[in-house]
């Protein structure tokens, strides 16, 4: 009996030792995810790739599809660097006798509140006394809202509509000062109405009628951007209001002899799109690619063209439907994003690329995190909305290795802040230990 007990004990010790050996051989990345209480009910995916050795260091659910949110902007950025040049095409135009006919390209910078570009305006202004002006929307076949966008986001700044010739970022900017409010563009002055209740400025879903709660006039220094409803007639009115002369409307395709007017440097538009995760810029930059490829302003056309020409070698076929990531129809896998990051790195010099992306502890959507290390080490695009927090980009370790990382979290029912901080903790461990 005693001998049996001893044998049983030795067998148990042997099994325990074997289990311990297996656990000790587990990659630390897996342990970090598996022991996290924050990720206990998440659907989590991760891929880590060493850019120098060209080896995959870790994968967890890397072949599974995730809702990417604004990680989609990485795909839009890649489309831009493969299609656009150093400068943004502002207008397509042709001069026939005493008429100047022009088409929008989707350029989002025309009188944009923050980018302050007036190149297209100055061009049109220089011809306003010598030419009759005709604006055509005949190259625009897109919808004003993206496929799969949440219909009830229409009043939120991040859901500005899509149009062939956006002006003022397709939003009305309201500034409150000394119990009065000022609008830009001023054409909407007669479309604002004060009301007794409410805590934010709202717009009717189907019309450009805005309501400002009286209590908000007490909020000195308050600013709010509200998307306006776009249509060709409104674009015509905005053009006439700024140019101070008549502009007629046509609906004809771009002429074969049309020339291109360029506006600002492309890089100066990519940076706010990526760092501030600006949806309006992302959607219209994608349209710009269509204007270059085929004089066709249509997101689906661009996505199909870029996917077929440049993305056939992704490990998993992407489901890509918009430029910004507002749509929950977008679906990408972590390992496909890693491949995309590798492609981007091959196209853009690293120093320039890292300056365009959010930088941990320094800029953009990563400015308020990643401050507990001796230097910035993460250069990446975030993506979040309800139940979603992802981060994909470049991680430079303490030993100087450049890693490509895609860390995706979907389907959680807790605060995004908790998930974001847990992602930061794990990425900081990777920085310190590689």
CA-closest candidate to residue 388, choices 338, 300, 341, 325: 325
Is the per-residue pLDDT at 10 higher than 60?
A: no
Question: Is the CB of residue 347 less than 8 Å from the CB of residue 82?
Answer: yes
* CATH 3.40.710.10 placement within the chain: 30-75+293-432
Look at residue 178 in the predicted model and tell me its pLDDT: 87
Question: Is the CB of residue 307 less than 8 Å from the CB of residue 318?
Answer: yes
pLDDT band at 27 (very low <50, low <70, confident <90, very high): low
Is the per-residue pLDDT at 22 higher than 60?
A: no
Question: Is the CB of residue 65 less than 8 Å from the CB of residue 335?
Answer: no
Portion of the chain with pLDDT greater than 70, in percent: 94
Look at residue 116 in the predicted model and tell me its pLDDT: 80
Question: Is the CB of residue 75 less than 8 Å from the CB of residue 60?
Answer: no
Distance CA 109, CA 119 (A): 9
CA-closest candidate to residue 336, choices 122, 62, 59, 117: 62
When pLDDT is averaged across residues 118-136 and rounded to a whole number, the result is 93
Question: Is the CB of residue 301 less than 8 Å from the CB of residue 290?
Answer: yes
Look at residue 13 in the predicted model and tell me its pLDDT: 43
Look at residue 312 in the predicted model and tell me its pLDDT: 97
When pLDDT is averaged across residues 199-214 and rounded to a whole number, the result is 96
Please give the mean pLDDT across all residues of the chain. Answer: 92
Residues 370-411: tens digit of each pLDDT: 998 889 999 999 999 999 999 999 999 999 999 999 999 999
Lowest pLDDT segment from 87-91, 175-179, 333-337: 175-179
When pLDDT is averaged across residues 219-234 and rounded to a whole number, the result is 96
Look at residue 25 in the predicted model and tell me its pLDDT: 47
Residues 50-89: tens digit of each pLDDT: 999 999 999 999 999 999 999 999 999 999 999 999 999 9
Question: Is the CB of residue 434 less than 8 Å from the CB of residue 399?
Answer: yes
Distance CA 402, CA 241 (A): 51
When pLDDT is averaged across residues 150-178 and rounded to a whole number, the result is 96
- The contacts found for 288-293 with CB under 8 angstroms, 24 or more apart, are 288/80, 288/83, 288/84, 288/88, 288/89, 288/105, 288/106, 288/107, 289/79, 289/80, 289/83, 289/84, 290/106, 291/89, 291/92, 291/105, 291/106, 291/139, 292/83, 292/84, 292/89, 293/83
| DSSP state letters, 17-65 | HHHHHHHHHS-HHHHHHHT-STTTTSEEEEEEEETTTTEEEEEESTTS-
Preceding amide of 111 cis, omega within 30: no
DSSP secondary structure code for residue 199 in this structure: S
Look at residue 2 in the predicted model and tell me its pLDDT: 52
Residues 269-315: tens digit of each pLDDT: 999 999 999 999 999 999 999 999 988 899 999 999 999 999 999 99
Residue 351 has phi, psi (to 5 degrees) of: -60, -40
Q: How many CA atoms lie within 13 A of 2 on its CB side?
A: 0
pLDDT band at 160 (very low <50, low <70, confident <90, very high): very high
* Terminal-residue alpha carbon distance, the chain: 52
Assigned architecture for domain 30-75+293-432: 3-Layer(aba) Sandwich (3.40)
Question: Is the CB of residue 145 less than 8 Å from the CB of residue 186?
Answer: no
């Amino acid at each position: 009996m005693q001998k049996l007990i001893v044998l049983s004990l030795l067998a148990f010790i042997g099994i325990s030792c074997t289990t311990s050996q297996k656990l000790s051989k587990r990659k630390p990345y897996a342990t970090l995810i598996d022991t996290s209480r924050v990720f206990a009910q998440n659907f989590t995916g991760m891929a880590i790739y060493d850019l120098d050795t060209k080896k995959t260091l870790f994968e967890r659910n890397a072949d599974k599809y995730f809702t990417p949110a604004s990680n989609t902007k990485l795909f839009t950025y890649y489309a831009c660097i493969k299609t656009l040049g150093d400068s943004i095409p502002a207008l397509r135009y042709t001069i026939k006798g005493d008429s100047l006919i022009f088409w929008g390209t989707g350029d989002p910078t025309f009188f944009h509140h923050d980018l302050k570009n007036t190149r297209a305006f100055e061009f049109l202004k220089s011809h306003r006394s010598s030419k009759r002006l005709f604006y055509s929307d005949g190259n625009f076949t897109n919808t004003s809202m993206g496929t799969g966008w949440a219909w009830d986001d229409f009043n939120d700044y991040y859901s500005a509509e899509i149009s062939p010739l956006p002006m003022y970022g397709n939003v009305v900017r309201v500034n409150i000062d000394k119990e009065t409010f000022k609008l830009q563009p001023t054409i909407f002055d007669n479309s604002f109405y004060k009301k007794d209740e409410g805590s934010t400025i709202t717009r009717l879903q189907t019309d450009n009628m805005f309501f400002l709660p009286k209590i908000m006039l007490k909020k000195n220094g308050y600013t709010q951007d509200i998307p306006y409803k776009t249509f060709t007639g409104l674009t015509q009115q905005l053009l006439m209001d700024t140019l101070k002369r008549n502009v007629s409307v046509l609906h004809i395709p771009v002429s074969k002899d049309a020339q291109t007017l360029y506006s600002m440097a492309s890089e100066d538009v990519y940076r706010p799109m990526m760092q501030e995760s600006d949806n309006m810029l992302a959607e219209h930059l994608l349209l710009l690619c269509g204007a270059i490829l085929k004089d066709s302003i249509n997101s689906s056309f661009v996505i199909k063209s870029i996917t077929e020409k440049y993305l056939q070698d992704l490990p998993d076929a992407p489901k890509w439907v918009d430029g910004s990531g507002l749509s929950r129809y977008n679906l990408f896998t972590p390992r496909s994003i890693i491949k995309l990051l590798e492609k981007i790195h091959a196209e853009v010099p690293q120093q320039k690329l890292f300056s365009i992306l959010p930088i941990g502890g320094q800029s953009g959507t990563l400015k308020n995190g990643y401050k507990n290390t001796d230097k910035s080490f993460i250069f990446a695009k975030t993506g979040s909305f309800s139940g979603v927090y992802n981060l994909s980009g470049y991680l430079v370790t303490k030993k100087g290795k450049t890693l490509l990382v895609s860390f995706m979290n979907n389907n959680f029912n807790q605060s995004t802040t908790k998930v974001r901080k847990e992602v930061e903790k794990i990425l900081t461990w990777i920085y310190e230990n590689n």
